[in-house]
């Protein structure tokens, strides 16, 4: 092997090692920046993940409504299993897609924090206000009673439904 071939092999090995360390997920102290090829890879991967995430959202939206309707129509006093099973499936797919996973390649910016509220905290606060109003006997109680009455009627109607002659098996 000539000196040039040897240097080329050594350089290729060094490049491969550097590339492997760039993509290592166990890196406890990521760099402040990445090389251009890592950036290109991460941008392309992010775009692909956005497509997957969007397709998942397009599927979950109508499925979640259907699951909720099914749960409300057949669940009696404790509805919801179908809807929450779908949420767990969505959570699993969200973890698998890992939309923002490339952030492991660089140190977080100064403004980053894992603390703080999210939309669920806001929804919980609104729910708390609505429950308080309900307990005080406000308009929310009347609305809840009307919805409960309508859902009870739907449940009774589905349970007492007599099969139509045209739908009976021959």
63 lies in the same domain as 95: yes
In a domain, 77, yes or no: yes
106 lies in the same domain as 126: no
pLDDT tens-digit profile, the chain (170 residues): 555 555 555 555 544 444 444 444 444 678 888 899 989 999 999 999 999 999 999 999 999 999 999 998 888 778 888 999 999 999 999 999 999 999 899 888 887 777 666 778 778 877 887 777 777 776 666 777 777 777 777 777 666 655 555 545 55
99 lies in the same domain as 50: yes
Q: What is the DSSP string of 94-137?
A: HHHH-TTGGGGGSPPPTT--S-S--HHHHHHHHHHHHHHHHHTT
83 lies in the same domain as 122: no
Q: What is the pLDDT of residue 19?
A: 44
C-alpha count within 13 angstroms, C-beta hemisphere, residue 44: 6
Residue 42 · residue 33 · CB < 8 Å: no
Q: What is the pLDDT of residue 139?
A: 63
Domain around 123: 116-165
For residues 151 and 157, give the distance between their C-alpha atoms in angstroms, rounded to a whole number.
Answer: 10
42 lies in the same domain as 104: yes
123 lies in the same domain as 153: yes
87 lies in the same domain as 131: no
In a domain, 21, yes or no: no
Residue where the block lists tokens 């859902």: 151
**Structural domain total, the chain:** 2
In a domain, 97, yes or no: yes
Q: What is the pLDDT of residue 41?
A: 93
Burial pattern 5-28, b for ≥16 Cβ within 10 A else e, equals: eeeeeeeeeeeeeeeeebeeeeee
In a domain, 15, yes or no: no
106 lies in the same domain as 34: yes
| Distances, alpha carbon 46 to alpha carbons 22, 43, 98, in Å | 17, 5, 9
Q: Can you give the three-state secondary structure of 14-40, one letter per residue? A: HHHHHHHHHCCCCCCCCCCCCCHHHHH
In 3D space, the residue among 55, 77, 91, 59 whose CA is nearest the CA of residue 159 turns out to be: 77
What are the tokens at 134? Answer: 């309900």
Residue 77 · residue 6 · CB < 8 Å: no
């Amino acid at each position: 092997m000539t000196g040039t071939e040897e240097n080329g092999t050594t350089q290729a090995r060094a490049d491969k090692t550097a590339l492997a360390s760039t993509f290592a997920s166990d890196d406890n102290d990521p760099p402040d920046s990445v090389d251009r090829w890592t950036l290109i890879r991460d941008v392309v991967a992010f775009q692909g993940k956005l497509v997957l995430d969007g397709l998942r959202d397009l599927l979950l939206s109508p499925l979640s409504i259907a699951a909720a309707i099914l749960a409300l129509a057949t669940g009696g006093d404790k509805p919801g299993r179908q809807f929450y099973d779908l949420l767990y499936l969505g959570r699993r797919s969200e973890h698998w897609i890992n939309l923002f996973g490339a952030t492991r390649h660089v140190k977080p910016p100064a403004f980053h924090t894992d603390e703080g509220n999210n939309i669920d905290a806001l929804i919980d606060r609104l729910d708390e206000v609505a429950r308080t109003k309900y307990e005080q006997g406000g308009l929310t109680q009347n609305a809840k009673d009307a919805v409960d009455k309508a859902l009870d009627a739907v449940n009774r109607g589905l349970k007492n439904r007599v099969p139509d002659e045209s739908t009976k098996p021959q």
